Structure 1
Amino acid sequence: MTSAAPPPVVDGVEWVRPRPGRRAYRNDVVLALVLAVGLAASSALYRITGWGEGAPWWGSAIWIAAMSLPLAARRIQPEIVAVVASAAFIVGAVAEVADGLIGNICLFVAIYTVGAWGRSRRWATIVRGVIVVVMFAWLLWNQIYYSAMQDFLPDFSRDGLVSPYLAFGLINVLTNLLYFGGAWYFGDRAYRSARSRAELEQRTAELAAERERARAHAVAIERLRIARELHDVVAHHVSVIGVQAGAARRVLAKDPGAASTALSSIEESARDAVDELHGLLGTLRSDAEAATSTTTSTSTRGIERIGELVTEAAASGLPTTLAVVGDAVPVSAVVDLSAYRIVQEALTNVRKHAGAAATAEVRVRWDERTVEVEVTNTGAVRRPRPGSTADATDPGLGQLGMRERVAAAGGHLELGPRTRGGYLVRARFPLRRVEEVPA
């Protein structure tokens, strides 16, 4: 028999195995009824062989009920059920109403349940220890008592140091050691397995909570960067408005048409500033998504400098090509910087996750209404490790940062594995032309 493992202690409180659900209780009731039917059939067969034929039928009925029906509550009060089953087992054997098969199964299940479902490990050990001691004391007493009765097993001689009768008794002792030891061991093992599952679930929950805290922290960092970019965007538009207002003031008396053009440019710049301000502030207020970025924010970065990212990626060992489709036009500061950051983050992810044999392609497409940046690679798509708390639909923090930026610019983001291998990141932004400052 194995000793019970020390229970885990959380915040000074011993871990207690939670009660099962209603389905488990229904299964216990079914088990008790099945064992009761099995006991009835087994007892009837034993009577046919001559065992207990002098005992009354009602005694067998009482013993069958006492031995099997309490098992319906075995996970509610396991210690009481085990004591009742043990007492019924001994009484049934003494009164010769017990069988030699199903009754042993009932007692095994009762003792096993104490180890597997006992809410106090101390009481579980005490109750099982008392049952085992009493059972072995009763067994040894029977061996000694019947050894003096020559008509009990007359074919087994009592003579010799290790007589046939003594050998028979030792076989009974070894059989009972295996019987009670197995019930004790498997009960403790079931309890330890449940405890390990509970500890794993707790660690998983803690890891999930820590991941959410990391995302919240990443959101705060990303939004601080967006706020800095907001300052740069507003400063840019205010500067443009100041230059256009000065130009309008200088030509107002001499050239009203030029002044009108300058004032129209001021109006357009003001609208652009308000639109971009609303987009960025909407992103900062939203709590629906998390984001992060691992690069330094610099408002001087833009679409025209994507070629530098391609050169840098190639220099770092990632073969990368750049293709530009259409004619470039001036765009708003938010779109300009967001497109640059999307390409930067996508190439960073390729270097981190796609493998040493990966290659990348960067495309910039211009049309009359949108500008689109696309990064594809031929590398492998990283899958979550077995047992990880993340799943295949759980986006990385870098991807969430991309979504924040694209949403702030009023665009659309598409990303995911490609059918022919590799990964695709495609961001499409609405094209808002920036009016030139009049001379």
Structure 2
Amino acid sequence: MTALLPRRAVTSGQMRNDLWLAAGMLVAGILSSALGSVSGVYGAEHPPLWWGFVYAVLLTLPLALRRRFPCTVLFVVSATYFVGISLQIPEVYVGNVAIFIAMYTVGAWVADRRRAAIVRVLVIVAMLVWLLVGIFQSAASGDDLPTDGPFSPFAAFAMLQFLVNIAFFGGAYLFGERAHASAVEHAALEERTAELERERELTAAQAVALDRVRIARELHDVVAHHVSAMGVQAGAARTVLDRDPDAARTALAGVESSARSALTDLRQLLETLRTPDSDAPGGSTLRLAALSDLAAHATANGLPTTLSVVGEPVEAPELVQVNLYRIAQEALTNARRHGGPGATADVRIRYEDDAIELEVVNTGRSPISGREGLGLVGMRER
């Protein structure tokens, strides 16, 4: 099986360059034919000059389409060259250049590599057979070449012709192969570049999505905690407003305090989000040491909470401390919201050699079944 590589598209600029190449080769072919006729390249016997012009046209104009139809162009140019040399049309230079370009183009532009190889080998074999026939015809006629000496001049001439043609066609073959290999490498590099660009865009989109999730999680934890406490305090104030104004006043003061704390936390969160990492100040103020304040806040807002510390506290990375604090905060918020009247909670932080374990349990009614809230999702993500 032969692998078929994608065919390269011919650009308008390349077609324009090929048109200029064909025009220049045509002018050179006409001049070469005319000067060859005047100088008598093949002696006095040669076709009329207009045959040279026809030969130049058929030899060079197909090169304008060499990238679109490389195999056809090579066959047309080679056949024209065969006929021209056989008829002794006095042009010997432009034809060689045209065949070289056509053969190079087949190697550089044909996507099917087996087809490219077969077409070029057929032309090369035909040329060598034609050369061999010509040499034997010359030997049979006995014209011009002496046969005396230690090494036959005829043999030397034949060997020279073969070596020149092998170098000529071999060069066209190898240059075409190298051009195709370079084009494949360039296409692979472009594909890899495009793939990297797609990966970069995907990574950027994923980073944006992760930032959105992080912001949503932080906002939920900050707002839900304080708003939940404000709801409990406002409900208590409404309940005792008529019979115990002082208690209602105290509860409303708690609502005000929770609102101020919520605004402070939101401001700090927004400042953190708007500050580049390199310019960030000392870091978060949320530490495991603040769990006692968190337990006291939960107790003050209707959920009696105890804090137990097991083991010797160790210094943990800031991210670990923030996540553990937020998990405890969200767990207590859920217990206060869903535990019902008389619910209590216990927060246990256990320090081990290579781990920190946080456990939050509460009493109260069983959770109401339903869609999982964002708080549980956020705790799981943390």
Q: TM-score when scaled to structure 2?
A: 0.63
Q: Is the 8 A contact 2:10 2:68 kept in 1?
A: no
Q: 1:138 aligns with which of 96, 114, 130?
A: 130
The residue aligned with 2:98 is 106
The residue aligned with 1:336 is 268
Name the aligned partner's letter for residue 211 of structure 1.
Answer: R
> Which structure: greater helix fraction?
2
Q: 1:346 aligns with which of 278, 286, 300?
A: 278
The residue aligned with 2:24 is 34
Once the 2 structures are TM-superposed, how far is the Cα of residue 94 of structure 1 from its aligned partner? Answer: 1.1
Q: 2:52 aligns with which of 33, 53, 60?
A: 60
For residues 219 and 147 of structure 2, the distance between their equivalents in structure 1, rounded to whole angstroms, comes to: 101
Residues 206 and 245 of structure 1, relative CA distance in 2, 3 Å threshold: same
Q: 1:48 aligns with which of 8, 15, 38?
A: 38
Residues 98 and 60 of structure 1, relative CA distance in 2, 3 Å threshold: same
Once the 2 structures are TM-superposed, how far is the Cα of residue 337 of structure 1 from its aligned partner? Answer: 2.9
Give runs of aligned pairs for residues 187-198 of structure 1, distance below 5 A. Answer: 187-198=176-187
Structure 1 position 228 matched with structure 2 position 220:
no
Once the 2 structures are TM-superposed, how far is the Cα of residue 100 of structure 1 from its aligned partner? Answer: 1.6
Q: Tell me the alpha carbon deviations over residues 415-434 of structure 1, each in whole angstroms, 9 at most, x when there is no partner.
A: xxxxxxxxxxxxxxxxxxxx
Name the aligned partner's letter for residue 15 of structure 1.
Answer: L
Name the aligned partner's letter for residue 168 of structure 2.
Answer: Y
RMSD of the TM alignment (CA)? 3.5
Name the aligned partner's letter for residue 119 of structure 1.
Answer: A
Once the 2 structures are TM-superposed, how far is the Cα of residue 36 of structure 1 from its aligned partner? Answer: 0.4
Once the 2 structures are TM-superposed, how far is the Cα of residue 97 of structure 1 from its aligned partner? Answer: 0.9
The residue aligned with 1:179 is 168
**SS where residue 158 of structure 1 aligns?**
coil
Once the 2 structures are TM-superposed, how far is the Cα of residue 160 of structure 1 from its aligned partner? Answer: 4.5
List alignment gaps of at least 5 residues for structure 2: 284-382
Residues 64 and 92 of structure 1, relative CA distance in 2, 3 Å threshold: same
The residue aligned with 1:168 is 157
**SS where residue 148 of structure 1 aligns?**
helix
Q: 2:84 aligns with which of 70, 82, 92?
A: 92
**SS where residue 54 of structure 2 aligns?**
helix
Q: 1:204 aligns with which of 186, 193, 201?
A: 193
The residue aligned with 2:69 is 77
**SS where residue 332 of structure 1 aligns?**
helix
**SS where residue 15 of structure 1 aligns?**
coil
Q: Tell me the alpha carbon deviations over residues 133-185 of structure 1, each in whole angstroms, 9 at most, x when there is no partner.
A: 010111111112112334x3x3x422356212221221121111111011101
The residue aligned with 2:341 is none
For residues 26 and 119 of structure 2, the distance between their equivalents in structure 1, rounded to whole angstroms, comes to: 24
In percent, how many aligned pairs have the same letter? 40
Residues 232 and 264 of structure 1, relative CA distance in 2, 3 Å threshold: closer
Once the 2 structures are TM-superposed, how far is the Cα of residue 188 of structure 1 from its aligned partner? Answer: 1.0
Structure label with greater radius of gyration: 2
Once the 2 structures are TM-superposed, how far is the Cα of residue 195 of structure 1 from its aligned partner? Answer: 0.9
Once the 2 structures are TM-superposed, how far is the Cα of residue 243 of structure 1 from its aligned partner? Answer: 7.1
Once the 2 structures are TM-superposed, how far is the Cα of residue 108 of structure 1 from its aligned partner? Answer: 0.6
The residue aligned with 1:19 is 9
Residues 86 and 48 of structure 1, relative CA distance in 2, 3 Å threshold: same
The residue aligned with 1:213 is 202
Q: TM-score when scaled to structure 1?
A: 0.56
Once the 2 structures are TM-superposed, how far is the Cα of residue 42 of structure 1 from its aligned partner? Answer: 1.1
Q: Is the 8 A contact 1:240 1:269 kept in 2?
A: no
Once the 2 structures are TM-superposed, how far is the Cα of residue 212 of structure 1 from its aligned partner? Answer: 3.1
Structure 1 runs of 4+ with >6 Å offset: 250-253, 258-261, 341-344
List alignment gaps of at least 5 residues for structure 1: 1-5, 274-330, 348-360, 365-439
